[in-house]
Amino acid sequence: MSTKNFEDLIKEVHEKGICQECGGCVSFCSSAQYDIIGFKDPYSPPEYLHKDQCLECGICYMICPQTHILDSELNKTYKFTNYGSMPVGNFDNIYSCQATDKDFLEHGTDGGVVNSILNFMIEKKLIDGAIVSKTQAAFSREASYAKSKADLLQSSGTILDVSPQLDAVHKISTYTHTIPGLNRYKFKKLAVIGTPCQFNSIRCMQDLGVTPSENIEICLGLFCYENFLFGKSQIERFEKDFNIKFSDIKKINIKEDVIFKLKDDGNGEKIIHIPFNHLKEYMRPACNACDDFTNIYADISFGGLGSADKYTTVITRTEKGKKLFSQVLDAGIIKCADLDSSKKKTMIELISRFSHSKIKRKEEFMKNSK
Ligand SMILES: Cc1cc2nc3c(=O)[nH]c(=O)nc-3n(C[C@H](O)[C@H](O)[C@H](O)COP(=O)(O)OP(=O)(O)OC[C@H]3O[C@@H](n4cnc5c(N)ncnc54)[C@H](O)[C@@H]3O)c2cc1C
Ligand code: SF4
Ligand code: SF4
Ligand code: SF4
């Protein structure tokens, strides 16, 4: 039997509408230096760029999260059985935390915990740097390499005085193609921050031992219910439906719903909550076929859901993740809210509810897909 390759990915994944556009195949193609495949359009699945040079090695097919070839290997490594018994994935403990550094807390998406941990790792030389996502405009970010506190602050959740040039952009997405960035940087020890779809393909690469995945020191995963994609007409509709001007959005938090914090218009900061089901038409279509909410293959997962304002929910998973988290606590760069076992149980139940809802969404979508 011949090895399945990118041609098969097109038929079995792209044409079925289930490509998550994670960028794993592009980044880890055996001939990535020749640009065999790539994103011609950043908002559509990758395509052949130089098909004649394809080695037909099958790496892209093996590592695609949507072919599920390596699921059982990964599940063994990350001690995951199924969502029925483990809606949140295998985990060690759950916390609700906040940065003690006032800059990371002030600019952080939630408690500024992710960037505090990255900064700690850079200062202690546990990593050379991190691939993060830098704010370009409201809703719009791009992959960048951070190796200092200043770089990290530019990648924090708050939109830092960036005026959105909405007329100049064709589409705006909350999703950032961070994985294709992996090949661009010379590094030995790297931290990656990413969504569940991105870490699924990174873990497949590590399982196969494909370069440069061996340089990834730690995977800090974000919860992800969905990402958004706005074309011009959708921006106009969004502004009309919710009475929010895109250029007024200062910050977005995602908890039980999507929380928009708007610039102070002289009458104080305005906060608008929009339920996920009111934002369906703005969801990135690729997210329909995704069932992992809490980033089950990360070393540590982070989200807003379950924690109070200005706190980040933290789920430690692997031995590496546990060790790092305890170093960070000992160093005093983050502090944890006092949670007894009943509060932790309530958090897990809430997060499990969102996990189940995402699994159900995928099941419905797959039933109706070609
Ligand atoms: C696209 C997206 C969807 C999310 N969906 C949910 C959700 O449904 N429910 C929930 O509870 N939490 C969700 N989160 C996580 C939540 O918004 C916070 O990122 C998390 O709680 C960490 O907050 P913090 O203040 O500790 O992080 P910070 O200290 O502010 O650090 C955040 C880090 O994330 C990086 N980052 C930001 N955007 C991206 C991106 N698009 N891709 C990769 N890295 C990025 C930044 O570069 C920064 O390094 C989502 C995050 C993102 C980026
Ligand atoms: S899901 Fe990711 S790895 Fe699979 S085809 Fe799409 S971009 Fe490539
Ligand atoms: S060279 Fe290998 S990894 Fe790259 S597109 Fe061809 S089959 Fe896929
Ligand atoms: S929901 Fe999140 S993890 Fe899933 S495909 Fe969309 S961006 Fe990726």
Judged by its nearest atom, the ligand closest to the C-alpha of residue 221 is: 1
Least confident interval from 25-39, 51-65, 178-192, 201-215: 178-192
Share the mean pLDDT of the chain. Answer: 88
Tell me how far apart the alpha carbons of residues 271 and 261 are, in angstroms, rounded to a whole number. 5
pLDDT at 180: 66
Amino acid letter at 252? Answer: I
33 contact partners, CB below 8 Å, separation of at least 6: 183
pLDDT at 271: 93
pLDDT tens for 46-65 read 999 999 999 999 999 999 99
- Centre of ligand 2 to C-alpha 286, Å, is 10
pLDDT tens for 124-139 read 999 999 988 876 655 5
pLDDT at 252: 86
pLDDT at 122: 97
pLDDT at 31: 76
pLDDT tens for 67-80 read 999 999 999 999 99
Give the number of the atom of ligand 1 that is nearest the alpha carbon of residue 110. 25
Q: If you average pLDDT over residues 185-208, what whole number do you get?
A: 89
- Centre of ligand 3 to C-alpha 275, Å, is 40
Highest mean pLDDT among 132-136, 263-267, 282-286, 290-294: 290-294
In Å, what is the CA distance from 58 to each residue of 3, 51, 66, 129, 303?
6, 14, 14, 30, 34
DSSP conformation letters of 133-202: EEEEETTEEEEEEE-SHHHHHHTSSS--SPPP-GGG-SEEES----GGGGGGS--SSEEEEE-HHHHHHH
Give one word for 107, left, alpha or beta, with left for phi > 0 and alpha for psi -120 to 50: alpha
In Å, what is the CA distance from 114 to each residue of 14, 37, 185, 327?
33, 32, 21, 14
Backbone dihedral angles phi then psi of residue 2, each to the nearest 5 degrees: -75, 155
pLDDT tens for 204-223 read 989 998 878 888 999 999 99
pLDDT tens for 219-258 read 999 999 998 888 888 888 999 999 988 888 888 889 999 9
pLDDT tens for 318-342 read 999 999 999 999 999 999 999 999 9
Tell me how far apart the alpha carbons of residues 141 and 195 are, in angstroms, rounded to a whole number. 14
Residue whose C-alpha is closest to residue 206's, from 80, 38, 24, 21 = 24
Asked if the model's pLDDT at residue 12 lies above 50, the reply is yes
45 contact partners, CB below 8 Å, separation of at least 6: 10, 13, 14, 19, 21, 286
Tell me how far apart the alpha carbons of residues 236 and 166 are, in angstroms, rounded to a whole number. 11
Give the number of the atom of ligand 2 that is nearest the alpha carbon of residue 13. 5
> In the block, which residue shows the tokens 């059982």?
72
54 CB less than 6 Å from ligand 3?
A: yes
Give the number of the atom of ligand 3 that is nearest the alpha carbon of residue 5. 7
Q: What percent of the chain has pLDDT over 70?
A: 90
Query: How many residues in total does the chain contain?
Result: 370
Ligand 2 site residues, Cβ closer than 6 angstroms:
9, 13, 19-25, 45-46, 64-66, 201
pTM higher than 0.75: yes
What is the widest separation between alpha-carbon atoms in the chain? 68
Measured at the alpha carbon of residue 201, what is the angle toward residues 200 and 206, in degrees to the nearest 5?
100
Backbone dihedral angles phi then psi of residue 156, each to the nearest 5 degrees: -70, 170
Sheet of 190-194, strands arranged across: 140-146, 129-137, 190-194, 216-222, 300-303, 312-316, 93-99, 334-336
Domain boundaries, the chain: 102-368
Residue 197's pLDDT band, with cuts at 50, 70 and 90, is very high
Residue 171's pLDDT band, with cuts at 50, 70 and 90, is low
Asked if the model's pLDDT at residue 121 lies above 70, the reply is yes
pLDDT tens for 78-96 read 999 999 999 999 999 999 9
Best mutation site among 4, 5, 7, 27 for ligand 3 pocket (most ligand atoms within 8 Å of CB):
5
